[in-house]
């Protein structure tokens, strides 16, 4: 076991204190000391959490209470009762569900593996003052690292020397642009994105060079902290799984009580043989327990998965389909999810006027030339751009307007430069132009203005006045308030290149050319998707590592923030740290935007909403999103921009990174749950009818159905129509209803009362037909039993059509629109008639010698459930009960 590394805020210490803490120097460690520390601290790798074997996972699938009862019933049926067919069917259903459960669990363990793959394979290290390459896994605290553009940072490093170093940290912090690194100490408690003197493991160097000392490795790094949170995130059951568990447990206990009562009454009071009553009781238990429900749910979910895949929503875990339908809160990452993760020019200011990026612009204007010349972007053969996102945005703007950079540089080649420096915040290039040289300078507006003495106005260079300076600074402020990143452009012409090219000889007496405002813009479809989600009762929360002003501006543009309540509805990570846990849980609904947050904050936000009883979806694409993706009820990863880590922690992946796809997926999820409810209503009303039939008959001392009758009906009428109901199209008002939420279950939305009255009617009609046949008409017992058997079977098939909608009339939703339901009904009907007309089988089932009158009684009785349910539905609609339980807005 490796030794725990000292937890220190190294970013808050000065250089000397950092080296003292890690017991090292700028010459690095000796090979012997590095080897000793590797032995002490262990390799610079992410640890894997304890994993269960596939066999353990498989066994765990059988710990469900309903599954245990079913297995016991199957064993008794197959041994004492001799009903091997039913026992085999139960075992097959249980095993298939166990295999699916193991498969889903294995897929969910990919996140940590993906994190490990992000590590840098090699690193440039100083050992005894010499630079050598070592495997990143062999790095230890105290090692001195040299990094340059293109490197992956191999550990958490405190920088002590930088040269225009920029590091892209979006995957870790969510900040949309590379961070300029500096050497100044940072105040203790600063957010990760503000620790500018640190470079973090698994981030990418995009510009410049840097040197630093390793302060944390392996699981002690910030990315290791994320891996640790992933391992320790408690696996939660989805609302669907919780519903199935609760339903199964409650039904099983109730049914076992009823079966035991039937045995006692039949054997103890009606003097029926104990073995007969045991088999009847087991038959009732097996018939009434919806053992096919897990399989049917799985099939309906799988069908929903296929439908979602066509809409670019790829489901990794089946229950996620249904969970989407219950979503009440979507916590969305900003960068790459709500925005394009691509800096884009929005405004250009020149000649005293502000222009939109979509307006025409003179390609000969100095502002256009400077933004392209003072730029280190590389243009590939396919015209793709390589470089810092801010600089590539400037070149892309030129491309879009028709500015040909390569041709311009051929005419005016770069001959020298003053590289960007984070202290002066400027960059300049010098270009040969016929008989003179052209200086192009870009940088921070306030710094650049200090070096300007002139300004370009309508093609003329005139002296820069104090009024001009104020106007430019006011314009800079106005753009900054809109969360635009602002750069200033300036130029001048010189006769010769100075012998010493530096800021003093080049960046003086400049001519101000203009300002450029850019931003990582919102996705065009995101605003409409957020509005649609709002109309469906779903609240969108934006969470980002970006600055508060940027987050506020984007949120307002997207419609997440009401501009009047903008300041009150935004919380930064630092402010969140000052709020106690219980206080935040009670006030979380007050905030719509979170800025400058860490991975721990994201998890805390999700948990707070869950404490409010909300079903929470979390979208994200970075490593920093992985813990919250896993903590949420449904994690939604990005398929294009998303890291493998975020995808591995997700329940669903958007193939097109389109926020609007989530809304389509929510609609499909609502449809799936509604269809599972239809299947539950159908199954349980049928099972209730069977239980009531046998229970009342036992009380009355009737022998109404043989065990084989009940088991055959249960086999042929349960599965096929229930699966077909899973293919029902969504009802028109499905997105006008409020989200179901966590409190919803299979019995909500009017399903429970419908199941009760419909089940009672099925049982009552079956008992009535038996009474009519045996006691009123005096038919033989085997004829009365056959009529009861056929009535119970046929009435269930007719009732499948009633289950197409809880409240709407069968005739308004299209009675025969679902072709699969029609086919399933025909198949089930054929299987029932099989035991009636096939010689030998009809003898076993005791169904023979029935007259036309007897058939007519059965058919009329079975079909009577349709007008009966239609009348009840009409009454419920008339009193407004449907709107009340469906929470229509």
**Cα 516 to the chain's mean position, in Å?**
36
> Exposed, middle or buried: residue 757 (CB in 10 Å: 0-12, 13-18, 19+)?
middle
Q: Is residue 369 part of a domain?
A: yes
Statement to judge: residues 28 and 58 lie in one domain: no
Of residues 693, 696, 708, the one with CA closest to residue 765: 693
Please, which residues have CB within 8 angstroms of residue 842's CB and are 6 or more apart in sequence?
A: 835, 836, 848
Of residues 394, 387, 597, the one with CA closest to residue 486: 394
pLDDT for res 791: 96
Each residue's pLDDT tens digit, 874-884: 999 888 887 77
CATH of the domain at 174: 2.70.150.10
Q: Is 27 helix (H, G, I), strand (E, B) or coil?
A: coil
Statement to judge: residues 418 and 548 lie in one domain: no
**Structure-block tokens of residue 806:** 């809880």
Q: Is residue 242 part of a domain?
A: no
Q: Is residue 508 part of a domain?
A: yes
- Domain closes at, from 486, 519, 552: 519
Each residue's pLDDT tens digit, 499-509: 999 999 999 99
Q: Does residue 369 contact residue 336 with C-beta atoms inside 8 Å?
A: no
Q: Is 737 helix (H, G, I), strand (E, B) or coil?
A: strand
DSSP one-letter string for 760-783: HHHHHHHHHHHHIIIIIS---HHH
CB atoms within 10 A of CB 782: 15
Query: Among 220-229, 482-491, 619-628, which range has the highest average pLDDT?
Result: 482-491
**DSSP assignment letter at 594:** E
Statement to judge: residues 362 and 461 lie in one domain: yes
Of residues 532, 541, 535, 531, the one with CA closest to residue 609: 541
Statement to judge: residues 528 and 607 lie in one domain: yes
What stretch of H or E contains 278?
A: helix 274-288
- Domain closes at, from 480, 495, 519: 519
DSSP one-letter string for 559-574: TSS-GGGTTTTEEEHH
Statement to judge: residues 60 and 83 lie in one domain: yes
Q: What is the mean pLDDT of the chain?
A: 83
Write down the number of H helices and E strands in the chain.
34, 26
Q: Is 710 helix (H, G, I), strand (E, B) or coil?
A: helix
What stretch of H or E contains 66?
A: helix 65-79
pTM (two decimals) = 0.67
Each residue's pLDDT tens digit, 560-616: 987 555 567 889 988 999 999 999 999 999 999 998 887 788 889 999 999 998 999
Mean pLDDT to the nearest integer, 152-171 = 86
Of residues 714, 720, 730, the one with CA closest to residue 820: 720
pLDDT for res 886: 65
What whole-number percentage of the chain has pLDDT above 70?
A: 84
CB atoms within 10 A of CB 468: 18
Of residues 204, 323, 319, 202, the one with CA closest to residue 599: 202
What stretch of H or E contains 717?
A: helix 707-725
Please, which residues have CB within 8 angstroms of residue 656's CB and are 6 or more apart in sequence?
A: 312, 639, 640
Burial 702-725 (b: 16+ CB within 10 A, else e): bbbbbbbbbbbbbbbbbbbbbbbb
Rounded Cα–Cα distance for residues 641 and 625 (Å): 13
Statement to judge: residues 782 and 873 lie in one domain: yes
- Domain closes at, from 203, 232, 261: 232
pLDDT for res 398: 95
Task: Indicate the length of the chain as a whole number.
Answer: 889
pLDDT for res 621: 76
- Write down the H helix ranges in 353-507: 366-373, 389-401, 405-411, 445-449, 466-481, 503-506
- Count of domains for the chain: 5
- Using 50, 70 and 90 to split pLDDT, how confident is the model at 50? low
Rounded Cα–Cα distance for residues 603 and 618 (Å): 10
Statement to judge: residues 122 and 197 lie in one domain: yes
Rounded Cα–Cα distance for residues 448 and 424 (Å): 9
**Structure-block tokens of residue 227:** 């891996």
Q: Is residue 265 part of a domain?
A: yes
Angle at 197 between CA 445 and CA 645, to 5 degrees: 100
Of residues 218, 201, 221, 230, the one with CA closest to residue 45: 218
Each residue's pLDDT tens digit, 279-335: 667 666 666 666 566 667 777 777 777 788 888 888 877 677 777 888 899 998 887
Cα distances (Å, whole numbers) of residue 251 to 77, 711, 785, 849: 20, 18, 27, 38
**Structure-block tokens of residue 74:** 């199957």
Statement to judge: residues 735 and 881 lie in one domain: yes
Statement to judge: residues 754 and 843 lie in one domain: yes
Each residue's pLDDT tens digit, 91-119: 665 676 566 556 645 543 444 454 445 44
**Structure-block tokens of residue 170:** 């979006």
Of residues 547, 543, 634, the one with CA closest to residue 591: 543
Q: Is residue 662 part of a domain?
A: no
Bridge partners of residue 542, in order along the sequence: 332, 593
Statement to judge: residues 102 and 171 lie in one domain: no
Residue scoring higher pLDDT (9 or 246): 9
Q: Is residue 264 part of a domain?
A: yes
CB atoms within 10 A of CB 480: 16
Statement to judge: residues 853 and 729 lie in one domain: yes
Per 3-state DSSP, what percentage of the chain is helix, strand, and coil (rounded to 5)?
50, 15, 30
Rounded Cα–Cα distance for residues 133 and 138 (Å): 11
CATH of the domain at 653: 3.40.50.1000
Rounded Cα–Cα distance for residues 516 and 354 (Å): 9
Q: Is residue 493 part of a domain?
A: yes
- Write down the H helix ranges in 24-64: 31-41, 54-60
**DSSP assignment letter at 509:** S
> Is the predicted pLDDT of residue 2 greater than 80, yes or no?
no
Of residues 223, 221, 604, 169, the one with CA closest to residue 389: 169
Domain extent for 633: 324-339+524-657
Q: Does residue 545 contact residue 193 with C-beta atoms inside 8 Å?
A: yes
- Which of left, alpha, beta for 520 (phi over 0: left; psi -120 to 50: alpha)? beta
Bridge partners of residue 518, in order along the sequence: 345, 485
Which pairs count as long-range contacts for 273-281, CB under 8 Å and 24+ apart, including other chains?
Answer: 275/80, 278/76, 278/80, 278/81, 279/80, 279/81, 279/83, 279/707, 280/694, 280/698, 280/707
Of residues 419, 398, 387, the one with CA closest to residue 348: 398
Residue scoring higher pLDDT (231 or 810): 810
Residues with a catalytic annotation lie at: 333
Q: Does residue 514 contact residue 352 with C-beta atoms inside 8 Å?
A: no
Statement to judge: residues 515 and 536 lie in one domain: no
Q: Is residue 317 part of a domain?
A: no
- Using 50, 70 and 90 to split pLDDT, how confident is the model at 173? confident
Angle at which helix 819-837 crosses helix 707-725, to 10 degrees, equals 160
pLDDT for res 82: 55
- Write down the H helix ranges in 215-238: 222-232
Mean pLDDT to the nearest integer, 353-362 = 94
Each residue's pLDDT tens digit, 779-797: 999 899 999 999 999 999 9
> What is the radius of gyration, based on Cα positions, of the chain?
36
CATH of the domain at 821: 1.20.1110.10
What stretch of H or E contains 665?
A: helix 659-700
Query: What's the half-sphere exposure (Cβ side, CA atoms, 13 Å) at 281?
Result: 22
Mean pLDDT to the nearest integer, 431-455 = 95
């Amino acid at each position: 076991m490796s030794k725990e590394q000292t937890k220190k805020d190294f970013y808050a210490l000065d250089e000397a204190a950092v080296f003292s803490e890690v017991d090292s120097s700028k010459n690095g460690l000796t090979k012997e000391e590095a080897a000793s520390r590797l032995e002490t601290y262990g390799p610079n790798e992410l640890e894997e959490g304890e994993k269960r074997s596939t066999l353990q996972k498989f066994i765990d699938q059988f710990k469900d209470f309903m599954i245990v009862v079913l297995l016991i019933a199957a064993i008794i049926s197959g041994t004492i009762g001799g009903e091997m067919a039913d026992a085999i069917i139960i075992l097959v259903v249980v095993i298939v569900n166990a295999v699916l459960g193991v498969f889903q669990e294995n897929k969910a363990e990919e996140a940590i593996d993906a994190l490990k793959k992000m590590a840098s394979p090699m690193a440039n290290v100083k050992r005894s003052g010499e630079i050598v390459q070592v495997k990143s896994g062999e790095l230890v605290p105290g090692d001195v690292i040299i990094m340059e553009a293109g490197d992956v940072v191999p550990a958490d490093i405190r920088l002590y020397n930088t040269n225009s170093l920029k590091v892209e940290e979006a995957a870790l912090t969510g900040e949309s642009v590379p961070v300029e690194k500096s050497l100044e100490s940072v105040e203790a408690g600063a957010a990760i994105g503000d620790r500018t003197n640190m470079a973090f493991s698994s981030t990418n160097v995009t510009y410049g060079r840097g040197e630093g000392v390793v302060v944390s490795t392996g699981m002690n790094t910030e990315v290791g902290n994320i891996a640790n949170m992933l391992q320790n995130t408690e696996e939660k059951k989805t609302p669907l799984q919780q519903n199935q568990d609760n339903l199964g447990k409650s039904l099983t206990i109730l049914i076992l009580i009823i079966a035991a009562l039937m045995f006692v009454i039949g054997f103890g009071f009606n003097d029926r043989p104990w073995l007969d009553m045991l088999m009847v009781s087991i038959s009732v238990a097996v018939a009434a327990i919806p053992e096919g429900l897990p399989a049917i749910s799985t099939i309906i979910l799988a069908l929903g998965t296929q439908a979602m895949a066509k809409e670019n929503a790829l489901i990794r875990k089946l229950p996620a389909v249904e969970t989407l339908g219950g979503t009440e809160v979507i916590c969305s990452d900003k960068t790459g999810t709500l925005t394009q993760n691509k800096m884009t020019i929005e405004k250009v200011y020149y000649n005293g006027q502000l222009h939109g990026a979509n307006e025409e612009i003179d390609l000969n204007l100095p502002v256009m030339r400077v933004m392209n010349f003072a730029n280190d972007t590389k243009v590939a053969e396919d015209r793709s751009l390589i470089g810092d996102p801010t600089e590539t945005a400037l070149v892309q703007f030129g491309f879009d307007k028709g500015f040909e950079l390569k041709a311009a540089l051929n005419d005016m080649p770069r001959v020298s430069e003053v590289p960007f420096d984070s202290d002066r915040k400027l960059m300049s290039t010098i270009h040969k132009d016929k008989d003179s040289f052209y200086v192009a300078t870009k940088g921070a507006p306030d710094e650049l203005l200090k070096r300007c003495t002139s300004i370009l106005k309508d093609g003329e260079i005139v002296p820069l006045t104090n009024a001009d300076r104020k106007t430019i600074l006011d314009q800079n402020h106005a753009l900054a308030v809109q969360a635009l990143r602002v750069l200033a452009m300036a130029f001048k012409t010189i006769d010769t290149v100075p012998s010493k090219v530096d800021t003093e000889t080049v960046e003086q007496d400049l001519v101000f050319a203009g300002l450029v405002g850019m931003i990582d813009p919102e996705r065009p479809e995101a605003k409409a998707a957020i509005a649609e989600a709002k109309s469906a009762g779903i609240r969108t929360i934006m969470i980002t590592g970006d600055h508060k002003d940027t987050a506020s501006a984007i949120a307002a543009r997207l419609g997440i923030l009401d501009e009047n309540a903008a300041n009150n509805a935004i919380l930064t990570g630092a402010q969140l740290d000052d709020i106690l846990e219980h206080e935040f849980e009670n006030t979380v609904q007050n905030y719509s935007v979170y800025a400058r947050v860490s991975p721990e904050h994201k998890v805390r936000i999700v948990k707070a909403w869950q404490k409010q009883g909300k079903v929470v979806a979390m979208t994200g694409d970075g490593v920093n999103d992985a813990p919250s993706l896993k903590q949420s009820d449904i994690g939604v990863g990005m398929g294009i921009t998303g890291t493998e880590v975020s995808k591995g922690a997700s329940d669903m992946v958007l193939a097109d990174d389109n926020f609007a796809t989530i809304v389509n997926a929510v609609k499909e999820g609502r449809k799936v749950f509604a269809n599972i409810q239809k299947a539950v209503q159908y199954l349980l009303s049928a099972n209730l009818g069977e239980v009531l039939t046998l229970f009342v008959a036992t009380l009355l001392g009737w022998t109404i159905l043989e065990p084989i009758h009940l088991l055959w009906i249960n086999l042929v009428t349960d599965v096929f129509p229930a699966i077909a109901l899973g293919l029902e199209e969504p009802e028109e008002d499905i997105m006008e209803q409020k989200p179901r939420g966590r409190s919803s279950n299979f019995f909500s939305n009017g399903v429970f009362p419908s199941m009760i009255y419909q089940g009672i009617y099925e049982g009552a009609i079956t008992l009535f037909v038996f009474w009519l046949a045996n006691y009123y008409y005096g038919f033989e017992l085997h004829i009365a039993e056959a009529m009861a058997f056929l009535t119970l079977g046929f009435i269930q098939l007719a009732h499948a059509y009633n289950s197409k909608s809880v409240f709407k009339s069968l005739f308004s939703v299209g009675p025969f629109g679902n072709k699969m339901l029609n086919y399933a009904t025909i198949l089930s009907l054929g299987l029932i008639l099989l035991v009636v007309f096939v010689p030998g089988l009809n003898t076993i089932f005791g169904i023979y010698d029935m007259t036309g009158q007897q058939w007519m009684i059965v058919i009329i009785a079975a079909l009577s459930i349709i007008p009966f349910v239609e009348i009840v539905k009409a009454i419920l609609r008339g009193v407004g009960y449907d709107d009340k339980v469906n929470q229509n807005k």
